[in-house]
Amino acid sequence: MTQELQGFLESCPPDLQADCASGILLAAERFAPTKRWHIDTTLRVLMTAGTHVRDDAVANLTQLIGGAQELHAYSVRRLYSALTEDISQQPLVQVAAWCIGEYGDLLLEGSCEETEPLQVEEEEVLALLERVLQSHMSLPATRGYALTALVKLSTRLRGDNNRIRQVVSIYGSCLDVELQQRAVEYNTLFRKYDHMRAAILEKIPLVERGGSQVDEEAKESKETAQLSEAAPVPTEPQASKLLDLLHLLDGPSGDAQHPPPLDPTPGGALIHLLNLPCAPPPPAPIPNLKVFEREGLQLNLSFVRPPGTPTLLLITVTATNTSGGDVTHFICQAAVPKSFQLQLQAPSGDTVPAQGGLPMTQLLRILNPKKAPLRLKLRLTYNHFGQSVQETFEVNNLPVETWQ
C-alpha cells in the first residue's frame, strides 16, 4: 500500500501532496516492519514532496536515524547522494546536513555493505555544504543546519580545518541575526575554546524510540532538556559545568539543532477561517507570572496563544533590573518534558541595564500536541556586582490556561 501511495504522491496535484505525504509518514511511524524500511520510506517522501511534509518530519527522522546505530553509515550515504542531486527540498536538506555533521567520518570510510560503493573526498563534502549555505533556496534554518554540520566536521575530518574556519568567519557578519550569532559563537569556540571543541562537538548519544503507548507514558516521566543553539558560548566557569547543563531535567542531551518552525501552515489556517460563519472571539488573556527575583533582577513570563493554533503557546521572558549595577552575560535556558517541543528564539541581548533600563526579552515557542500539563524548568546564568550567579528552578505555578 505504501508503494502505491508513494507512486500517487509523485504524480498527484500539489493541493493533495500535503495530505498524502502526511498519511504515508503516519502509517510508516505506526507500522514500519524495520528501521531501514522506515528510513527509506521517509526519505522517499522527503525527496518527492519535502516542502509539503509536516513540521515534525525533520525531528522524527533525525531521532529515528540517531537511534539506529547499525544504520548510521547507510543513512549518511543515502542522504549525501540525495543532497548532491537536489538541494531544493528544505526538510531533506536539513536532515542531510544534520546527518553529515554527525556521521561524516562514516561517509569517508569507503564502502558500506548495504549501499553501492561511494568514494567521497573531504573537499567534496565541504563543497556541498558550502553550496547549501550559498543557495538562494536555503531557508535561514537550513543554513543553520549546514553551518553546524561544517563545524562538527572539523572534529570528524582528518584534513586541515582552515577552510571550515574561513567559511564560519564569513557568516559572522551575516544579515540574518541568528545565523550571525551562531557563526560568532563557533568562531569563539575555535579561538578561545579549541581544547574543548572535540568534547563539545562529539556525537549525540543513541536515542531510544518508544514502542507501545505504555512505554511512551513511562518515558515521558523522564524529562529531556531542549537547549537552544542560540545560547552564547559559555565562559570559562560555565564551560566547566557543561555536563551539568546537558543533564538539565535529567534527560539525554541532544545536539545543537534548531527544531523546525512551529508556525501553522498558512493555507490550512485560511481554510478553517473560510469555514467559519464569523470571526471567533479573542482568547481570554493569560495572566503574567513573576518567576524569579534576586538583588533587583526580576524575571516575568507572559503568555500568548495564537488564534487557530490550540497546541502552540508563546512565552515571552522579560528580565528587568532595578539594582545599581548592570547584569551582564545573561543567559536563560529552558527545558520541558519529552512530549513537548521547545524552540528558544535569540534574546534581545545579554545585558540587563541597571536602574530599570531597557528590559531584555526572549521568546519561547512551545508545541504541546497532547495538551498535557506544562512543566517548565529554567536556568539563569549571569554576572552581577562582580559575581557569577547560576540559578536553576522549576516553574510550578503556571496558569492552567497554558495547557488547556
Q: How far apart are CA 148 and CA 156, in angstroms?
A: 13
Question: Residue 351's closest CA among 378, 384, 392?
Answer: 384
Indicate if 213 and 294 belong to the same structural domain.
Answer: no
CATH of the domain at 62: 1.25.10.10
Same domain for 218 and 337, yes or no, is no
pLDDT, one tens digit per residue, over 325-372 is 999 999 999 999 888 899 888 888 889 999 988 899 999 999 988 888
Does 164 lie in the same domain as 42? yes
pLDDT for position 379: 93
Query: Which pLDDT tens digit goes with each residue over 84-104?
Result: 998 888 999 999 999 999 988
Does residue 254 lie in a domain region?
A: no
In a domain, 90, yes or no: yes
208 and 307 share one domain:
no
Same domain, 203 and 271: no
pLDDT of res. 152: 92
Residue 272 pLDDT exceeds 50? no
**Residue 203, number of CB atoms within 10 A of its CB:** 15
Query: What average pLDDT does range 141-156 have in this prediction?
Result: 91
Q: Which pLDDT band holds residue 208 (cuts at 50, 70, 90)?
A: low
Task: Please enumerate in sequence order all residues whose Cβ is within 8 A of that of 110, keeping only pairs 6 or more positions apart, or say none.
Answer: 117, 119
Nearest CA to 156 among 118, 205, 102? 102
Contacts (Cβ under 8 Å, ≥6 apart) of 65: 39, 71, 72, 75, 95, 99
pLDDT above 90 (res 148): yes
Residue 116 has pLDDT above 70, yes or no: no
Give the chain's domain count: 2
Looking at residue 55, its pLDDT comes to 74
What's the confidence (pLDDT) of residue 224?
39
Same domain, 195 and 317: no
Domain shared by 330 and 390, yes or no: yes
What percentage of residues in the chain have a pLDDT greater than 70?
A: 77
Q: Does 205 share its domain with 312?
A: no
Q: Which of 222, 238, 258 is the last residue of a domain?
A: 222
CA torsion sign for 294, 298, 299, 302 is: positive
Rounded mean pLDDT, 50-75 = 85
Let me know whether 11 and 156 are in one domain.
yes
Q: Give yes or no: residues 174 and 318 share one domain.
A: no
Q: State yes or no: pLDDT of 221 exceeds 80.
A: no
What does pLDDT average to over the chain? 79
Is residue 176 situated within a structural domain? yes
Cell readout for 146 is 549546514
Q: Are 404 and 294 in contact (CB under 8 A)?
A: no
Domain end residue (candidates: 197, 222, 247)? 222
- State which residues form the domain around 345: 266-402
Euclidean distance between CA atoms 404 and 87, whole angstroms: 40
Q: What are 208's three cell numbers?
A: 531510544
Question: When comparing pLDDT for 114 and 303, which is higher?
Answer: 303
Residue 156 has pLDDT above 90, yes or no: no
Q: Across 206-220, 281-295, 352-366, which has the greatest mean pLDDT?
A: 352-366
**Listed residues 190, 222, 254: the one ending a domain:** 222
Residue 139: exposure state from Cβ atoms within 10 A (0-12, 13-18, ≥19): middle
Contact predicate 343/235, CB 8 Å: no
Please check the confidence at residue 140 and state whether its pLDDT lies above 70. yes
Within-domain flag for 253: no
DSSP collapsed to 3 states, the chain = CHHHHHHHHHHCCHHHHHHHHHHHHHHHHHHCCCHHHHHHHHHHHHHHHHHHCCCCHHHHHHHHHHCCHHHHHHHHHHHHHHHHHCCCCHHHHHHHHHHHHHHHHHHCCCCCCCCCCCCCCHHHHHHHHHHHHHCCCCCHHHHHHHHHHHHHHHHHCCCCCHHHHHHHHHHHHCCCHHHHHHHHHHHHHHHHCHHHHHHHCCCCCCCCCCCCHHHHHHHHCCCEECCCCCCCCCCHHHHCCHHHHHCHHHCCCCCCCCCCCCCCCHHHHHHHHHCCCCCCCCCCCEEEEEEEEECCEEEEEEEECCCCCCCEEEEEEEEEECCCCCEEEEEEEEEECCCCEEEECCCCCCCECCCCCCCEEEEEEEECCCCCCCCEEEEEEEEECCEEEEEEEEECCCCHHHCC
pLDDT of residue 111: 59
Residue 239 lies in a domain: no
pLDDT of residue 110: 63
Say if 340 falls within a structural domain: yes
Give a yes or no: residue 158 inside a domain.
Answer: yes
Residues 206 and 281 in one domain: no
For residue 243, is it within any domain? no
Report field, pTM of the whole predicted structure over 0.75 = no
Mean pLDDT of 392-403: 80
> Do residues 142 and 90 lie in contact, with contact meaning Cβ atoms separated by under 8 Å?
yes
Asked whether residue 186 falls in the same domain as residue 312, the answer is no
Residue 211, burial from CB neighbour count under 10 angstroms (0-12, 13-18, 19+): exposed
Average pLDDT rounded to a whole number, residues 242-263: 44
Residue 371 sits in a domain whose CATH number is 2.60.40.1230
> Confidence band (pLDDT; 50, 70, 90) for 157?
confident
Q: Is it the case that residue 298 has pLDDT exceeding 90?
A: yes
